[in-house]
Amino acid sequence: MTARLILIGLLTTAATAAAQIPDLSAWEVHDMDRPQPPVVTPGSMGSAPSDAIVLFDGSDLSQWQHRDGRAASWTVKDGFMEVTTGAIMTRQAFGDMQLHIEWATPNSGDGQDSGNSGVYLMNTYEVQVLNSYENPTYPDGMAASVYGQYPPLINASRPPGEWQTYDIIFRRPHFDDAGNLAMPARVTVLHNGVLVQDSVVLTGPTGHRSRPAYKTHADKLPLLLQDHNEPTRYRNIWVREL
């Protein structure tokens, strides 16, 4: 009986391992007939590649609104936007995405009250924005954390006032027809070009002092920037849908 259970276990493990290796048999190795990837003109120094949707180019907030549908009222000046009153979210909804966003915190406050804002993927899953340069706080709430879930692998923060970058690759959760979770969300984050979240599996929506369970939601939802009552700035925001 025990041997049989072990055998079943081994077979299950082998089947799982086999299932994880993609089937590439549709193409011979180095097959010249394999379709060439689309050509995209890359940006330079963080500027948008040619196939990106530019969400903020420094000039206006036409692609953003408040939760209640009012036009976004954050201050726009000198090529950046600054948190003023109320979170803002994109008019367009997104699911899987590559996101580039630049931000700078004010040089004020401490702990969670130093430039706190946040990038809420699908209006639900927060990658924290915070001054984490010589400003300790709980690790799962520092800059580049998945708030309440994962501290960043390292602290790549620049001092407050300096521009910083996030490059985020997000894979949305999937739900079955009954509304049950079929596949959790995953996120990869580079902070100032350094890998800080390596395809981490999200446990559910972002909560404060809580880790809520997944709730079924649409395949695409807006990107939201948090207002935490501090004048954090953003610029050069673009998205590529995946």
Which chain residues interact with Mg ion by CB under 5 A? 116, 118, 128, 226
The full length of the chain comes to 242
**For 179, what's the count of Cα atoms within 13 Å in the CB-facing half-sphere?**
5
Element (H, E) at 12: helix 2-19
Q: Which is nearer to Mg ion, 118 or 152 (CB)?
A: 118
- The least CB distance from residue 120 to Mg ion, in Å, is 9
Q: Which is nearer to Mg ion, 197 or 226 (CB)?
A: 226
Q: Dihedral through CA 201, CA 207, CA 208, CA 209, nearest 10? A: -70
Q: Which is nearer to Mg ion, 52 or 127 (CB)?
A: 127
Q: Which is nearer to Mg ion, 123 or 226 (CB)?
A: 226
Q: Which is nearer to Mg ion, 186 or 228 (CB)?
A: 228
Could you report how far apart the first and last alpha carbons of the chain are, in Å? 48
Q: Which is nearer to Mg ion, 226 or 236 (CB)?
A: 226
- For residue 187, give the nearest of 126, 141, 232, 229 by alpha carbon: 126
- The least CB distance from residue 60 to Mg ion, in Å, is 24
- The least CB distance from residue 206 to Mg ion, in Å, is 9
- CA atoms of 149 and 80, how far apart (whole Å): 29
- CA atoms of 205 and 203, how far apart (whole Å): 7
- The least CB distance from residue 131 to Mg ion, in Å, is 11
In the numeric block, the tokens 């006032």 are attached to 161
- The least CB distance from residue 128 to Mg ion, in Å, is 5
- CA atoms of 62 and 124, how far apart (whole Å): 22
- The least CB distance from residue 117 to Mg ion, in Å, is 6
